[in-house]
Amino acid sequence: MQAEVTSEVGPEWVDEVLLAGPDKNVPLRLPAGPIAQSTLRQLVAERRDALTAAGLGRGGCVALRLPPSLTYVANLLAVWRIGAQAVLLDHRLTQYEVDQAVERLGVQMVVQVDKTLSSPLSVFADVTETVITREGEPARTPHAVLQLSSGSTGPSKVIGRTAADLVAEIDRYTKIDGVPLGGERIILLPSMVHVLGLVGGLLYGLHAGVELVPPRRLTGDAILEAVAAGDTPATVLGVPFHIGLLASVADPPKLPQLKRMTTGGELVPAAVAATFDDKYGVPLGNMWGMTEVGVIATDLFGEHRPSLMPAPGLAVREVDGELQVSRPESPYVGLSDPTRWSDGWLHTKDAGRVDPDTGLVTVLGRLDSQVSVGGLKVDLTEVEHALTSVAGVVGAVVLYDKEITAYVQLDGSATGQGVEAALAERVAGYKRPRTMHVLEALPRTTTGKLVRDQAVLRAALS
């Protein structure tokens, strides 16, 4: 089944693209029990009526500050069904950050948690909501959703996507070989506030009739328990951090239901990928995407690692070492910067190459990762990849501040001295970090990306 792509779509797209499945479908299988399609439709209708009664109308603007939950899903779809704009705020933001965001964007109301009924360790929360109205203004742009970039490499940007753009991405997913099919399951680990969990999990799953199954807790054992709880094929969807959770399970059971794991975000360290393959024997797929455009390229069978194939309908090109993605309009709200988008091309700020014969894309890291050391060029991403290829290295961040400095996370089988010795065999002396700090856990953004801010990393040392 394919989503219908049009240049303009009205609020009916929620019913037609996301909620059109038969009543017997179970779009969400929560720890508390299954949610039938008819139940979800009823919840969306109830929230639509409640938000309308609170003053939200077509063209309005509302911020959702809710954890991943049935409450979040119902409110999000209800906002879109009204024809209003949803601003997605990660529930882990501080009140100061939330106040700054809603003031910056002029939202008319905020939907946030009233009561939490579940354990704070639950992946999918059980919460009730409350609506706070404020003296805001209607949506300033025609976007269905506004998101804030993760800020892993700089200040957050406001990113807008129209309903037509979301429908087009859902359509891309339907054409990618290896995605879960109707009747199968997605073990959903990433937050639905961010693009991978939002479109690759929630929206695609609702459209394609794929059951979304969040585990009870975010542990390796709980993820495997969720896989084992059903008979249908299951794909685990997450980020590299989640691969580490599964790789840490000492003696995983045989699970014929486990079809593959698909990860978005950073490149999976070679050592982690090898451990996963040894333990589970299923494909470890990779996806490259951005909040600005969604999924860009995939390798869901692990055939081309570290390269990926552009998703259907997207063009990717290499210009002066930078990867650029076709996009008809700028995704940025209130930002006019030709270095971010120009002439139909999104500037990813990622270094990479595109094979002229196969079209395969290889992401090489951030463009700003190249530095000069004693007149010699050093690619810090190359050093990171060398570090993560060393046995026992779970993750690494390599930065330059007067000298090359590395921050690494080890799994307990390695020592800092041993890692330095192994790195000396793989990387020339002028490229090697002068200082290597071993952290119990590397700081990450709310989307699971490694933080590359010197101040944050230094603070983590104390």
Residue 153 has a pLDDT of: 44
Q: Where in the chain is the domain with CATH 3.40.50.980?
A: 13-161
User: In terms of Cα–Cα distance, which of 407, 399, 339 is closest to 369?
Assistant: 399
Residue 374 has what pLDDT?
67
Helical H runs in 54-120?
A: 70-82, 95-105
By CB atoms closer than 10 A (0-12, 13-18, 19+), residue 147 is buried
Q: Which residues pair with 125 in a beta bridge?
A: 69
- Residues belonging to the chain: 462
Q: Which alpha helices (H) appear in 310-415, and where do they start and end?
A: 380-388
Sheet of 127-133, strands arranged across: 127-133, 109-116, 61-65, 85-88, 145-148, 158-161
Annotation: CATH topology of 13-161: Rossmann fold (3.40.50)
Q: Contact at 8 Å (CB) between 64 and 76?
A: yes
Amino acid (one-letter) located at 186: I
C-beta neighbour count of 403 within 10 angstroms = 10
Distance between CA 312 and CA 297 in Å, rounded?
9
Residue pLDDT, tens place only, 207-254:
999 999 999 999 999 999 999 999 999 999 998 889 888 988 989 999
Q: Which two tokens stand for residue 107?
A: 């939202």
Cα–Cα dist 182/186, whole Å: 10
How much is the average pLDDT of 275-292? 91
Q: Which residues contact 310 (CB under 8 A, 6 or more apart)?
A: 296, 297, 316, 359, 361
C-alpha–C-alpha distance, residues 340 and 331, integer Å: 9
Distance, in Å, from the CA atom of 429 to the CA atom of 217, rounded to the nearest integer, reads: 43
C-alpha count within 13 angstroms, C-beta hemisphere, residue 46: 11
**What's the whole-number mean pLDDT along residues 17-22?**
94
Render pLDDT for 368-402 as a digit per residue (tens, 0 to 9): 777 878 667 788 888 888 898 898 898 899 998 88
Helix (H) or strand (E) holding 65: strand 61-65
- Distance (Å, rounded) from C-alpha 196 to C-alpha 199? 6
Question: Torsions phi, psi of 144, nearest 5?
Answer: -80, -30
* Separation between Cα atoms, residue 232 and residue 203, nearest integer Å: 20
Q: Token match 């094929």: residue? A: 233
pLDDT digits (tens, 9 = 90+) for 299-324: 999 899 889 999 999 999 999 999 99
List helix spans (H) across 115-156.
none
**pLDDT-based confidence at 4, cuts 50/70/90?**
very low
Model confidence at 294: pLDDT above 60: yes
Which class is 374-461 in CATH?
A: alpha beta
User: Which candidate, 84, 72, 298, places its Cα nearest to that of 196?
Assistant: 298
User: Could you give the residue range(s) of every CATH 3.30.300.30 domain in the chain?
Assistant: 374-461
Dump pLDDT digits (tens) for 130-184.
Answer: 999 999 999 999 999 999 875 444 457 899 999 999 999 999 999 999 999 999 9
Look up tokens 């299954």; give the residue: 34
CA distance 223 to 352: 33
- CATH number listed for the domain at residues 166-363: 3.40.50.12780
Instruction: Report the percentage of the chain scoring pLDDT > 70.
Output: 96
| Average pLDDT of the residues in 434-448 | 87
Q: Label residue 107 by pLDDT band (50, 70, 90).
A: very high
Edge-to-edge order in the sheet of strand 404-410:
393-400, 404-410, 435-439
Based on its alpha-carbon atoms, the radius of gyration of the chain, rounded to whole angstroms, reads 22
C-alpha 136/C-alpha 277 separation (Å) is 51
